[in-house]
Structure formats: C-alpha cells, structure tokens
Amino acid sequence: MRNKLTHRAVVAAKPADRPYRLTDGGQLYLLVKPSGARLWRLDYQLGKRKTLALGVFPDVSLVEARKGADAARERVAAGIDPIDEKKDARAGRNAAANAEAETFDDAAARWSAAENWSPGHRRTVEQRIAYNLSPWIGTSQIELLTVAEVDRCLTRTADRGALETAHRCAALVRTLYRTRHVPAAVRGRLSPMADVGAELDALPEKRKRAKLPAITDPQEFGVLLRRIERHRGSFVVSTATRLAPYLLLRPGELRHLRWADVRFGEGVLYIPGETIDDPVQAARRGKRSFPANYQAGMKGGLDHIVPLAPPAVALLRDLHAYTGTGGFVFPSPQCRPDAPLERQRPISENAINVALRAVGIDTATEHCAHGFRATARTIGAQRLGVPTRYIEVQLAHVHDDPLHGSYDRESPPTRWLDERGDFMLRWAELVDRLRDDKGGNVVVPFVSAA
C-alpha cells in the first residue's frame, strides 16, 4: 500500500465551501470541513460499510493516524468491529467512573449550601430541583448529563401545566453549570447546558398584578369594623378576623401563629423567621412533603416583633382560654382546640376572607384579609402622621432604598421597637374609635409625617 499524503500537504489543507477528502491509501483519508476542522477517517467493510474516527489533526499527526488505521485493519481482519470495540471500552470507563463520580444532586446540594440565599428562596430552589429534576437526573453523572435528558424533565413539568416552573428549572440548571460546583470541563457560559430549555414554549406576557382591595377611608373602615363585630361564625375564625386589624400580619403569618409566639408578659408577638413543620400536614403531602424544618413563617425568613395594644391582648387572652393548651393560636375547627401541635392544623388560608364575605364584604373589590395592612399603611402615614419608615418595618417590608424606611437583612427585629409600639397603640385606639362611632363623627385630620 502506497501512502499518498505528506505532513506538508496536511498542514496546507484549507477549508472550502464543501467538505472534501485528501486520501492517503488503504481507505485512510483526511476530511477537511468548511469550518477548518481536519479529521482523520478510515472506511472499512464488516458486513456493511462503516467509517472509524481516528482523531483530529494536529492533535493526531499523520504518522499516528496511519498507526491507528493499521491497528484497526488488523481488528477488522480478525472479524472484530473497531467501532463496537471502542463503544464497549467507553461504556466500561463510564460505568467505572459513575461508581465514584459526582452526580447532579451532589452538585446541586453543594451549590445550595454555599449560596447566601434567604431561607425561603433556598427552600424554593431545593423544592423545584427535588420535584422536577432529581427523580430523573439526580443520580446522573454531572459531566455526562446531556441537554436532551434535562429537556425531557422540563417538558414533563411543562406538560402538567407548570410552564413557568419549567422555565425556572431551566434557569437553575444553566446557573448551576456556570458555578464552581461543577467540573471545569462543563462549566461556563458556553457550557453544554447553555441551551437548556430553549425548546420550551415562551411564557405569556405577564399582566400587572392588581392591588389587593383595601378600604383606606376612615369612616368606611369604621363601617367594616362594625360588620366584623357582627360575624357569628366559628369563635376561632371570628377572633382571628377581629385581631387582623390590630396585628397587621399577612394572612399566612396570622393563621400560623403559635402560642409559643405570644409573650403576654412582654406585650408582644415574637415570630421566628422559620418554625418547625407540622407532622400531620407533612404526612398529608405524601411523597411531595416539604423538608422537616419547613412551615410558613415570616416572609423572607426574618424574625419579627409585633407590639400588642390592649385590645389585641384582650382578644388573645380570651382565645387563650379556649385554644391555649394546644399549639396553634387559630386551630382549624376540624381539630380539637386543646390538641398538641402535632395533631393540629391552622385555619384555612381563606378563613378570614370567608368571614368578611359572610358579613357582606366583597373581598374581590372592597376589602380582603390582606387589606388591613394597606389600610394601616395609608391611614397611619396620612392621618396619624407616623413616619413611613416605622410603619414599613412594622409591616415587615424589606426595600433596598433607605429613603423609603427600609431595613437590611442584618437588622434586628427590635429596630425602632419603641416607635413601632407607639404606632401600634395609636393605631389600635383609632381602630376602636372608628368601630364605636356609629354616627361617623370621628374626625381624623391629615397630619404631616415627620
């Protein structure tokens, strides 16, 4: 067999509009691609015509390509397919590597542990991975995982009607593959995962969320308060509805209150950012149970203090006689009020809205359970003259702009506690006056906030 190619000819090979071959002899040739890539190939016949890849020039020289071709021809002459042999060897190496290699779940767990996320965000990320990715690719080796495998998980999520979750999961994978928690070979913005999720349908354009309805006129608010007093439903739900204007918590935070959070001696609620999960609720979730340390606490995972005005203390003490030996302040009517925490669940997320509707309030257009916060924020700033920074902290709002009375994530829950206590006392007094003034004679002048 006479060799036709020389090293100089291989080096001088230039790309053209179409791929072309430079033959060397014995079915060995150099395939020159329009991209400029120069690939060594060997054609052989074993049942059917096949082509064996022998490497890329200049990583594999002409001499090395000839040696590889000679070895392959020997295998073919012995009836052994070099392509199948190559696949078997690769599969063996991969199997051995998989026994000790890091998995997708390993990398994701290390990434989550290393990031300085809020507890709520960390929980969300871990749940998205656990529910949408881990069951199918969690044990896959991080270096061998393909875009197609991840996209199949995303399609599964989108097909069940969770298109936005699928997009968010795709973003999580892309971000993970840009961190130091994956091997350098697959890391970076040009990693194999850069195109994950590209085949998903586009998300519809989001409409601007309408503000939750809230009454901000003092006299109309007084009418609302009097209607609440006429509620004749469950004692627990009625008390929760009466307390909502005094505590100014989000509905989820209110219904999850525990008696352990109520400190009568100090006159405050001390609500931890994260609390312990209710085992009964976790069991009800079945396979999709949340982590054992999860339950809806304060938004953002920050501890929070609510100064209690006398009317709030009175309502809580009255309720304590009924549910105080149990766990939740507002246990569901389906639970024994004195049952231990592990056998309770709180009132439903819609309980207060149902109570409002029962007394004739349209919760879609007039006022809803969340609206008490907006009422206090508006009247407190405009009518009582309380600086907005105190109200914002009392509402547990976190902003980035210090000019809007924000506080950072390291701020203690006691920040401006005296000022906030004064606001909560003045607010409670106003609530009582508006509720008791059936003739609409209470005048609440505008006062300039300091």
Do residue 87 and residue 108 come from a single domain? Answer: no
pLDDT given for residue 284 in this prediction: 39
CATH number of the domain residue 161 falls in? 1.10.150.130
pLDDT given for residue 440 in this prediction: 61
pLDDT given for residue 3 in this prediction: 75
CB 264 within 8 A of CB 317: yes
pLDDT given for residue 412 in this prediction: 66
Residue 209 lies in a domain: no
Using the 3D structure, point to which of 195, 210, 240 is the last residue of a domain: 195
pLDDT given for residue 407 in this prediction: 42
Residue 208 lies in a domain: no
Do residue 129 and residue 90 come from a single domain? Answer: no
Rounded to whole angstroms, the Cα distance separating 58 from 19 reads 18
pLDDT for 90-129, tens place per residue? 665 554 444 456 899 999 999 999 998 888 889 999 999 9
Number of CB atoms found within 10 A of residue 220's CB: 15
Do residue 269 and residue 413 come from a single domain? Answer: yes
Rounded to whole angstroms, the Cα distance separating 127 from 176 reads 15
Residue 447 lies in a domain: no
Sheet containing strand 268-271, edge to edge, reads: 262-263, 268-271, 304-307
Do residue 291 and residue 328 come from a single domain? Answer: yes
Total domain count, the chain: 3
Do residue 39 and residue 123 come from a single domain? Answer: no
Residue 201 lies in a domain: no
pLDDT given for residue 209 in this prediction: 59
Do residue 85 and residue 118 come from a single domain? Answer: no
pLDDT given for residue 190 in this prediction: 61
Do residue 264 and residue 397 come from a single domain? Answer: yes
CATH number of the domain residue 426 falls in? 1.10.443.10
- Low-confidence residues of the chain: pLDDT under 50: 95-99, 275-296, 400-410, 450
pLDDT given for residue 85 in this prediction: 82
Expressed as residue numbers, the domain containing 372 is 218-436
